[in-house]
């Protein structure tokens, strides 16, 4: 259901967006396009044109005391009902009982430009931060993989004095942090996590993969909403 709706919004023109605005305005007055012209929803184009001509004569600003806005609305309503594509969209609105949930990016951008610009900037900053996190991850991953190979190689070359012990405790200096580790009698290396649990010395246990929730703009609401 979502993809077909997005596909439809891609083809909507300015006329469609004006239709949504006009439909919303008339709904507030508990009326619709057909009731405004005084025709049935099944009216033909000829019947709509006839009703339009009769109504504009009554509402023309030069001969009527009615607000000029009513004259403009009448012209717009008639135009939309005489245009097959617009009438089809409007009939769908009447059938569903509400406007489309998503009216297209252009609709929201033209009406809430500052809000949309703010959202786009936030998305761009978040994606940039996320990409930088992945770049840092792959750079550190190469370093840590080499470090693990060296650590395992050194464990295999442990002196007989150290090897005589069932478990040898040491530490691994990663530059920005130090990990406590244990080297077993079988020359296997384990690190101690924050819960003091023994886990194998692997990249996954040392370097977590980047998450979109760890980007700057995501950390701010996360900090205050989920302390």
Range of the domain at 47: 2-111
- Asked if residue 140 and residue 107 are part of one domain, the reply reads no
- Asked if residue 145 and residue 104 are part of one domain, the reply reads no
- Asked if residue 163 and residue 99 are part of one domain, the reply reads no
- Asked if residue 82 and residue 15 are part of one domain, the reply reads yes
131 lies in a domain? no
227 residues of the chain, pLDDT tens digit each? 444 454 455 556 777 778 888 988 898 888 999 999 999 999 999 999 999 999 999 998 888 888 899 999 999 999 999 999 899 989 988 888 766 655 666 666 666 777 778 888 888 988 999 999 899 888 888 877 887 777 777 767 665 455 555 566 666 666 667 777 777 766 677 877 777 777 887 888 778 888 888 887 777 766 655 55
The helix/strand/coil state of 200 is strand
- Asked if residue 153 and residue 101 are part of one domain, the reply reads no
Strands (E), 80-193: 167-173, 178-184, 189-192
CA 88 to chain centre: 29
125 lies in a domain? no
- Asked if residue 103 and residue 148 are part of one domain, the reply reads no
Number of domains composing the chain? 2
What is the C-alpha separation between 23 and 10, in angstroms, rounded?
20
217 lies in a domain? yes
Structure tokens at 9: 């919004």
- Asked if residue 159 and residue 74 are part of one domain, the reply reads no
């Amino acid at each position: 259901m979502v993809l077909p709706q997005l596909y439809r919004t891609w083809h909507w023109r300015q006329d469609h967006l004006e239709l949504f605005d006009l439909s919303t305005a008339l709904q507030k007055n508990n009326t619709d396009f057909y009731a405004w012209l005084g025709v049935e929803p099944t009216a033909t184009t000829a019947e709509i044109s006839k009703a339009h001509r009769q109504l504009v004569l009554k509402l023309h600003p030069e001969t009527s005391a009615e607000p000029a806005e009513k004259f403009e609305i009448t012209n717009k309503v008639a135009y939309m009902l005489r245009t097959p594509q617009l009438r089809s969209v409007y009939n769908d609105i009447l059938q569903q009982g509400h406007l489309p949930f998503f009216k297209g990016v252009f609709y929201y951008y033209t009406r809430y430009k500052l809000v949309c610009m703010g959202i786009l900037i936030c998305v761009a900053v978040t994606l940039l931060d996320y990409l930088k996190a992945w770049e840092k991850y792959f750079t550190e991953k190469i370093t840590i993989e080499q470090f693990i190979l060296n650590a395992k190689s050194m464990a295999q070359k442990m002196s007989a004095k150290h090897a005589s012990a069932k478990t040898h405790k040491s530490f691994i200096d990663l530059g920005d942090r130090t990990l406590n580790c244990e080297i077993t009698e079988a020359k296997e290396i384990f690190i101690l996590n924050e819960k003091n649990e023994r886990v194998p010395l692997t990249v996954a246990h040392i370097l977590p993969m980047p998450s979109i929730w760890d980007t700057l703009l995501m950390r701010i609401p996360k900090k205050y909403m989920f302390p």
